[in-house]
Amino acid sequence: MASSVKNTAKKTAPKRTANQKKRSPHVKANAANDATAPFLSSTAAEEITKIFRALDRSRDGFIPRDGLLAAFNSKGIHTDDPRVKDTLEALKRSHEAIDLESFTKLFGHDIGFLNRIAKDQFIVPRFNEFCDEMSTMFEDCREIRDGAVADYIPQLARVAPDQFGMGVCTIDGQRASFGDKDVPFCVQSTCKPINYAMALTLNGEEKVHAHVGREPSGRSFNELALNDRGLPHNPMINAGAIMSCSLIHPDLPLSDRFDHVIKTWTALSGGAAPGYNNPVYLSEKATADRNFALAYFMQEKKAFPAHTDLLQTLDFYFQSCSIETTAERMSIAAATLANAGVNPLTNERVFSSETVKHCLSLMYSCGMYDFSGEFAFTIGLPAKSGVSGALMVVVPNRMGFAIWSPRLDKLGNSVRGIEFCRKLVERYSFHNYDGLSEGEAKKDPIRSQELYRSDLTYQLIHAASLGDLAEITRLVAHGADINAADYDGRSPLHLAAAEGRELAVAYLLARGANPQAKDRWGATPVEDANRHNHSEIEQRLKKSAAA
């Protein structure tokens, strides 16, 4: 979303005159085009007029400001969402009733996103209904009083046991949170998949798995045991997590290595920097005899990369576990994994899709301590728990959840977190293999994948025709096929060339768009550019076609 929207409205809301109430939206549209069109093409101006009319329920040429804010909220789009933050801040300062001219000034740079709001093109179309059911399940789990806080780390033993927070974020950035959603907690073992993903990014699969296995251990998460190659069984247990830390920028000072981890969590969380709990770090380090034993055992077996500084690696591991976040922020990190490594709020690629595939595979088989097999069987989702009571759950291609409740079962997993997951897959077809079952009366809150992918294609073509580079970037990040075409065989590049969208054409070509694609009439993007007298675009397309 554009960050340059300036508020030009008066502080007090205007009173509508009789003439204003009678004024036709069509008249306002012409006035808006004359007054604000300098930064909009005629196509974009027409498009935003259509959106305005669709949202103008009363047909009087005005949209209530609070109604617009409510429309965003009902879709799960929060006012702190970086895609709309500046625009919605300006909207909150504007007149109580928004006419087309003000509407165009506010949203003229963000037509693609606004169009999705108006047409409800998000992956969870009935988000309010979905949230109501989430809230009911959450409150049912709140009544559970089983389990106890982790007491082997003194600082964790002091945490109030009945705190309970949850967040959910879809791959479209629709968000909701419940309970103690803003209370910070230490990530503990939920850092393990993130550190593993960082190690993969920096070193590649072959090097990482020369030092750590990828099989469930069948043993306690901190047991003094290695596999038959003398390596930790997988990155989701303590020994494997220590090994992952040894592979994250080992050549840098510890401060820089930790800074890299913090920056990664910030990117995963949509720009919100995590906190850090030094008392927990000191407490964990002071009671870490087993982790020291595991590290020296691996050193004896020569499992570490050459020249590993053992004590610094352990410090790094304890620091990673002591990072603080909230349920709301962790749900965004989980949604980034669900979205193949692309943050749904910023469209930043944090991890490659291949890295995320490996990470989710090990979360699925090894992420829940000694309950991993049972969790995979009954819940059927990749997840990672931590002894702080944190639980990160990923529904691939759909959404991510974060649940925090300090009461743990005997295996170290959040009691309420596990129960919420049970309720989730009982109600919704989220289990990895629900598609194989017949006759189960489960809901699917998700827009059908076929329809969703089709929507992505048409949204990309539409964004290309408008030259909406931000929307094009988002759609490509979400997997839209850059060479897909509509029923007339018109690709995004056809439309961008025909409408003279130079930046869009450059972006599409750089990402593999075919300049020689033919529509149903046999026309190529080159011919479209020529027909509409866009000579510079025509030359760029010819050069690309000849390359």
The model's pTM is 0.82
Give φ, ψ of 229 to 5 degrees: -95, 5
Is the same domain home to 382 and 517? no
Does 28 participate in catalysis according to the annotation? Answer: no
Q: Which residues of 469-503 are buried (b: 16+ CB within 10 A; e: fewer)?
A: bbbbebbbbbebebeebbeeebbbbbbbbbbbbee
The letter for the amino acid at 484 is: A
Please tell me which residue, 479 or 529, carries the higher pLDDT value.
529
Helix axes 111-119, 42-55, angle to 10 degrees: 30
Cα dihedral angle (487, 492, 493, 499), rounded to 10 degrees? 100
Same domain, 342 and 477: no
Q: Find the catalytic residue in 317, 364, 428, 452.
A: 317
| pLDDT range class, residue 392, cuts 50, 70, 90 | very high
The rounded distance, in Å, linking the Cα atoms of 312 and 319 is 10
Please report which helix (H) or strand (E) contains residue 542, including its range. Answer: helix 535-546
* pLDDT at residue 81 greater than cutoff 50: yes
pLDDT at 538: 93
Respond yes or no: is residue 369 known to be catalytic: yes
Task: Give catalytic status of residue 196 as yes or no.
Answer: no
Q: Which of 387, 415, 476, 526 is catalytic?
A: 387
Mean pLDDT, rounded, for 173-194: 97
Token pair of 371, please? 């309950």
Question: Is 192 a residue of the active site?
Answer: yes
Structural domain includes residue 342? yes
CA distances from 536 to 42, 520, 526 (A): 20, 25, 11
- Which residue among the candidates 369, 428, 452, 507 is catalytic per the annotation? 369
Residue carrying the six token digits 């205007």: 14
CB 356 within 8 A of CB 337: yes
* HEC profile of 16-51: CCHHHHHCCHHHHHHHHHHHHHHHCCHHHHHHHHHH
Report the alpha-carbon distance of residue 27 to residue 267 in Å, rounded.
45
pLDDT at 30: 35
Banded model confidence at residue 111, pLDDT cuts 50, 70, 90? confident
In this structure, are residues 89 and 79 in contact, taking their beta carbons and an 8 Å threshold? yes
pLDDT per residue as tens digits for the range 5-53 = 333 333 333 344 333 333 333 333 333 333 344 457 777 888 899 889 8
CATH assignment at residue 235: 3.40.710.10
Query: 239 and 172 in one domain?
Result: yes
Q: Which of 363, 394, 413 is the last residue of a domain?
A: 413
474 or 145, higher pLDDT: 145
Q: Higher-confidence residue: 344 or 18? A: 344
- Cα-to-chain-centroid distance, residue 305: 33
pLDDT at residue 22, as a whole number: 36
> Residue 295 CB: number of other CB atoms within 10 A?
25
Q: Tell me, yes or no, whether 388 and 531 share the same domain.
A: no
Residue 470 has pLDDT above 90, yes or no: no
Residues 475 and 366 in one domain: no
User: Do 512 and 372 belong together in one domain?
Assistant: no
Q: Is 387 a catalytic residue?
A: yes
Give pLDDT, residue 448: 67
Residues 159 and 199 in one domain: yes
Q: What integer pLDDT is reported at residue 436 of this predicted model?
A: 82
pLDDT number for residue 219: 72
Say yes or no: 197 and 320 in one domain: yes
**From 28, 75, 192, 285, the catalytic residue:** 192
Q: How confident is the model at residue 110 (pLDDT cuts 50, 70, 90)?
A: confident
Q: What is the largest CA-CA distance in the chain?
A: 86
Condensed to tens digits (0 to 9), the pLDDT of residues 499-517 reads 999 999 999 999 999 999 9
CA–CA gap between residue 214 and residue 209 (Å, rounded)? 8
| Residue 479, helix vs strand vs coil | coil
Whether residue 111 is found in the same domain as residue 233: no
Whether the per-residue pLDDT at 482 is higher than 70: the answer is yes
What local confidence, expressed as pLDDT, does residue 10 receive?
A: 35
pLDDT at res. 440: 65
How far apart CA 518 and CA 495 sit, in angstroms, is: 12
In a domain, 440, yes or no: no
- Tell me the residue range of the domain where 305 lies: 131-413
Give percent above pLDDT 90 in the chain: 73
The per-residue pLDDT for 328 is 97
- Asked if 387 contacts 188 with a C-beta cutoff of 8 angstroms, the reply is yes
Asked if residue 80 is part of any domain, the answer here is yes
Nearest 5°: the CA angle 312, 313, 315 is 65
Which domain CATH number covers 508?
A: 1.25.40.20
Mean pLDDT throughout 475-501?
Answer: 89
Residue 313 has pLDDT above 70, yes or no: yes
Residue at 487 is within a domain: yes
pLDDT(87) > 70: yes
At 295, is the pLDDT very low, low, confident or very high (cuts 50, 70, 90)?
very high
Alpha carbons 464 and 84: distance in angstroms, whole number = 20
My answer on whether 212 and 352 are in the same domain is: yes
* Listed range (110-114, 164-168, 174-178, 359-363) with the worst mean pLDDT: 110-114
Q: Does residue 234 fall inside a structural domain?
A: yes
Rounded to a whole number of angstroms, the distance between the first and last alpha carbons of the chain is: 34
| CB-side neighbour CA atoms (13 Å) of 245 | 28
Note the pLDDT of residue 438: 63
> One of 102, 189, 244, 405 is an active-site residue; which one?
189
Would you state the pLDDT for residue 547?
A: 82
Q: What is the pLDDT of residue 39?
A: 57
Same domain, 317 and 377: yes
75: domain CATH number? Answer: 1.10.238.210
| Chain position carrying tokens 């006035």 | 31
Last residue of a domain, which of 413, 440, 462? 413
**433 within domain boundaries:** no
Q: Specify the number of domains making up the chain.
A: 3
99 within domain boundaries: yes
Q: Do 140 and 90 have their domain in common?
A: no
**Residue 113 belongs to a domain:** yes
The mean pLDDT value of the chain amounts to: 89
DSSP string, 200-214: HHHH-HHHHTTTS--
Which among 365, 389, 413 is the end of a domain? 413
pLDDT at 450: 62
Name the packing angle between helices 310-321 and 289-300 (round to 10°).
140
The tens digit of pLDDT for each residue in 133-183 reads 999 999 999 999 999 999 888 999 999 999 999 999 999 999 999 999 999
Give the model's pLDDT for residue 204: 97
